[in-house]
Amino acid sequence: MIDQASFTGLIKTIFILLSIYYIAKFVMRLAAPYIMTYAAKKMEQKMKDQFGNMQNQQNQQSKTPKSEIPKEKKKVGEYIDFEEIDE
């Protein structure tokens, strides 16, 4: 059978949706500090890992023997920047 929409059914549906909204809002207000603390700890851990990786890379680069480090090229001369003179 086909049910017809009724005014009381509409009011009941609106009441249920508003109840769910306010309950979710209340729960999120209670849970938000814990969620933010968790996210901050995760970010901190990720940054420490990245910093540790950078430290390890720099330590490995500083341990390379001097024979592998390329020598500087000789400087040929001084660079002089010329300006055009308008007549």
Q: What is the pLDDT of residue 71?
A: 67
pLDDT digits (tens, 9 = 90+) for 54-77: 887 777 777 655 556 666 777 777
H helices within the chain, ranges in order? Answer: 7-62
Torsion (CA) 51, 39, 41, 58 in degrees, nearest 10: 0
pLDDT digits (tens, 9 = 90+) for 13-69: 999 999 999 999 999 999 999 999 999 999 999 999 888 888 877 777 776 555 566
Distances 59 to 35, 53, 62, 67 between C-alpha atoms, Å: 36, 10, 5, 17
Nearest to 10 by CA among 20, 2, 18: 18
pTM above 0.75, yes or no: no
The tokens describing 57, both together, are: 């890379």
Q: What is the pLDDT of residue 68?
A: 60
